[in-house]
Amino acid sequence: MPDCTLLSPPFNRVQSISRRRFPGKVRLASGQQRGENRTRSGLVPVRIFPLIMKTKSAATARYDISCSPPVDQVGIAERAQRFTTRSIKTGAKREGLLKVLNMIDLTTLEGADTPNKVRQLCYKAEHLHDAIPGLPTTAAVCVYPPFVKVARQALGSASPVKIASVATSFPSGQGHLDHKLEETQRAVGDGADEIDMVISRGKFLAGDYNYVFDEIAQIKEACGKARLKVILETGELGTLDNVRRASDIAIHAGADFIKTSTGKISSAATIPVTLVMLLAIRDYHFQTGKMVGMKPAGGISKAKLALHYLVMVKETVGPEWLTNQWFRFGASSLANDVLMQVAKLEDGLYQAPQYFSKD
């Protein structure tokens, strides 16, 4: 049986917690809200799930998958539904829309990408709509590794817009580790501020969790000062329990962000999946005090849906995450819909889509 004791600080593995007494920060089952009682006795048995298991060497310590909590799918579905019913007033809506714009990773990841298309993407990231004053830039542009140099030249070194590059045999993740490491190091060397890697879903689904952990840890080391976003491709993981396990593995292996999807399969980001990932981030923060970012990607093309995500982030992990340092949207078409909503708030009229650049 694995030793699931926290390395620091020490916690008991299992505690019975009275409804009237919470000794410090307690660990709730995913989908369960504080104060909910799942038993008739009035005592809620709550397992304190640890960070990593103890191994012979601290350098080879890995996350023990049996320490990930089961997901309450009914509770997750109920909470996800409630986030979409919040009423947002006009003043708060404009502020929220501007936050969304500043959290977007403006993305082009197509086989037909060209240097000119990447340059245009970079221009749009810095100048979302010249006719609307006071707009922020996007958080980043996201491109394939061969275009990192082009993006760096277009943005320069003083731009607030970061350069993100996909790597590690994106989008399948089916590649040799030495190639993935080389691709990561080359992208960082060319000027990437952030690396979006994909996990080896085949290894994960085969139960080789240590391989997935070690691969993420090595890619993180190869990133140097660049931040690492770990893409789980949740649509291929099958269950919310697997989403939670993969999130925990990525976080403990060193991810700066966890990300839902590549955007290359039909099943992309959803509110329930993102909620499960946010709960993993919340629990890690409760235990360590360390923040990890979140990036839902794919399937988010409407401003209204993006605002629902911001509500979920604030109510699940807190307002500290409502900056582009800790929350991003991976999107290519979301920016234009948000701009249309901002223009509507400015003059009361919707502008036609052709008034907004596609790239």
Please give the positions annotated as active site. 196, 259, 295
Check if the beta carbon of residue 207 is closer than 8 Å to that of residue 237: no
DSSP state of 325: T
Pairing of strands 14-18, 43-47: antiparallel
DSSP3 helix / strand / coil % (the chain, rounded to 5): 45, 15, 45
Check if the beta carbon of residue 269 is closer than 8 Å to that of residue 298: yes
Helix spans in the chain (H)? 73-83, 90-102, 115-126, 148-155, 177-189, 201-205, 209-223, 240-253, 271-288, 303-316, 334-347
How many residues can be counted in the chain? Answer: 359
Cβ neighbours of residue 178 closer than 8 Å, sequence gap 6 or more:
none
CA quadruple 354, 148, 252, 21: dihedral sign: negative
Cβ neighbours of residue 234 closer than 8 Å, sequence gap 6 or more:
243, 246, 260, 261, 267, 269, 273, 277
Check if the beta carbon of residue 166 is closer than 8 Å to that of residue 136: no
